[in-house]
């Protein structure tokens, strides 16, 4: 029984490529499940923010999760994030430190039209916050803070550097405050959409596509090895 070196090489390549496609398909399937889980979490009842995340870590289902927080705004520098639009208007986001049982939470209080807006005033005393969680924008971490102190991204590293303390691992996007501030920054929508979205058909289609690719690899293997290599056919017959 003889098998050509070409057939062996093509078979090894087919094994590698089909395994790669299966791994990619499994990853896409996992991504689809994560999106569905995040959507379900987002439409569930709010939970205390420290149950959804910690300074060290957070579960994937906490992204988009409705949360509450009771505490007080900290006496530290508020940070403005430049070049943020709301309904077509140019302005800044306001990031304010909030203390919950000794943990500092970065609260995105909302949008203002200028760095001198009266809505920047921080309320004194205990307040209750309601909102949802979203990730930091750490993809611009190395250039997140400008010389004037403003941010171009909601960078966890720059926020911790400015405040001199670790912060919760997700950003608290404010949707309601009791008692309310007057005037107050305008609330902004979550940048990560998890609630009220349709089933992620695109991710599910990608999952199926990768498995189809895995099968196609073996179709090509049959065409190139079995049909075109007589030595392989003879060896299989034996």
Convert the pLDDT of each residue in 7-19 to its tens digit: 777 778 888 888 8
How far is the C-alpha of 224 from the C-alpha of 220, rounded, in Å? 6
Class of 65-178 in CATH: mainly beta
Residue 228 has pLDDT above 70, yes or no: no
pLDDT at 200: 61
Residue that wins the pLDDT comparison between 42 and 232: 42
Domain spans of the chain, in order of start: 5-38+199-237, 65-178
Global confidence as pTM = 0.64
pLDDT in tens, 74-87: 988 899 999 899 99
Instruction: State the burial class of residue 237 (Cβ atoms within 10 Å of its Cβ: 0-12, 13-18, 19+).
Output: exposed
pLDDT in tens, 132-164: 999 998 775 556 667 777 788 899 999 999 999
Q: What is the mean pLDDT of residues 54-76?
A: 90
28: left (phi over 0), alpha (psi -120 to 50) or beta: alpha
pLDDT at 77: 87
């Amino acid at each position: 029984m003889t098998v050509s070196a070409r057939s062996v090489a093509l078979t090894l390549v087919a094994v590698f490529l089909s395994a790669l496609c299966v791994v990619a398909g499994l990853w896409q399937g996992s991504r689809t499940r994560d999106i569905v889980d995040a959507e379900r979490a987002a439409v569930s009842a709010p939970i205390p923010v420290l149950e959804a995340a910690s300074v060290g870590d957070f579960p994937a289902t906490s992204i988009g999760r409705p949360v509450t927080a009771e505490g007080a705004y900290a006496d530290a520098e508020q940070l403005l994030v430049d070049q943020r639009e709301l309904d077509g208007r140019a302005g800044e986001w306001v990031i304010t430190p909030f203390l919950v049982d000794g943990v500092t939470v970065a609260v995105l209080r909302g949008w203002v039209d200028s760095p001198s807006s009266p809505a920047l005033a921080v309320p004194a005393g205990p307040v209750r916050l309601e909102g949802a969680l979203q990730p930091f924008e750490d993809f611009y971490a190395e250039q997140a803070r400008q010389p004037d102190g403003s941010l171009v991204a909601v960078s966890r590293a720059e926020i911790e550097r400015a405040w001199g303390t670790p912060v919760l691992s997700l950003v608290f996007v404010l949707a309601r405050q009791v008692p309310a501030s007057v005037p107050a920054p305008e609330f902004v929508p979550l940048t990560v959409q998890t609630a009220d979205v349709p089933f992620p058909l695109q991710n599910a289609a990608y999952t199926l596509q990768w498995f189809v690719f895995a099968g196609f690899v073996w179709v090509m293997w049959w065409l190139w090895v079995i049909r075109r290599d007589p030595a392989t056919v003879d060896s299989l017959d034996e």
